[in-house]
Amino acid sequence: MATDRDLVQIIDAAMAEAARKSGAWLVCRPGCTSCCMGAFPITMLDAARLRSGLGELGRADPGRAAAVRRRAAEYVARLPVFPGDLATGILSEGEEAEDQFAALAEEAACPALDPETGTCDLYESRPITCRIFGPAVRAGGDVLGVCELCYEGASDEQIAACQVEANPAALEQELLGGDARQTIVAFALRDAGATGR
């Protein structure tokens, strides 16, 4: 039976190939944080992975883990409106919720982002969206979020030559077992205790 670790390995292998193909076009590096701003929906699988990673961080470096939890709580407290359940952090569905979500502050840094180093404190546990953003990636024929900082001066043909297929949806859905609920990183981490529950 497949596991979350299998999903992560598949995605990471595809991203390594994308990085190889992209070479100097890919400018993603520690300290470049433009993709670490604003809220985006994550699955319950992503949320569980983040909480597990926070638990591991808590055992290895309690101070850094406490800082992540503090940043998550502050992020949630600053939300002007949340298109979902404030108690659980589960996002609502529908057009009104989508409009509210679009209004969330795009300049707010992800709570997992260490503001001093510009690196992710939970990098190994990051959501799938974080793993696939940046390089030229296709999923079922659709091109996913290519970072606007990458491929500067590249032609469409050059970008297409760097593309890899990374379509985790089927395996991810299997692992989710039909659970379509989504949340955001801040809610996934806000209530995660030192044990990573």
- Which residues form the domain of 167? 4-190
DSSP for the chain reads: ---HHHHHHHHHHHHHHHHHHHGGG----TT--GGGBS---EEHHHHHHHHHHHHHHHHH-HHHHHHHHHHHHHHHHH-S--SB-TTT-PBP-SHHHHHHHHTS-SSSBPTTEETTTTEETTGGG--HHHHHSBS-EEETTEE--B-TTSSTT--HHHHHHH-EE---HHHHHHHHTT---EE-HHHHHHT--TT--
Is residue 197 in some structural domain? no
In order along its 197 residues, the chain shows pLDDT tens digits of: 889 999 999 999 999 999 999 999 988 888 889 889 989 999 999 999 999 999 999 999 999 999 999 999 999 998 888 999 999 999 999 999 998 888 876 788 999 999 999 999 999 999 998 998 888 887 776 766 678 888 999 988 998 898 888 877 788 889 999 999 999 999 999 977 544 34
**71 inside domain:** yes
Whether residue 162 is contained in a domain is answered as: yes
In a domain, 88, yes or no: yes
Q: How many domains does the chain have?
A: 1
Residue 146 inside a domain? The answer is yes
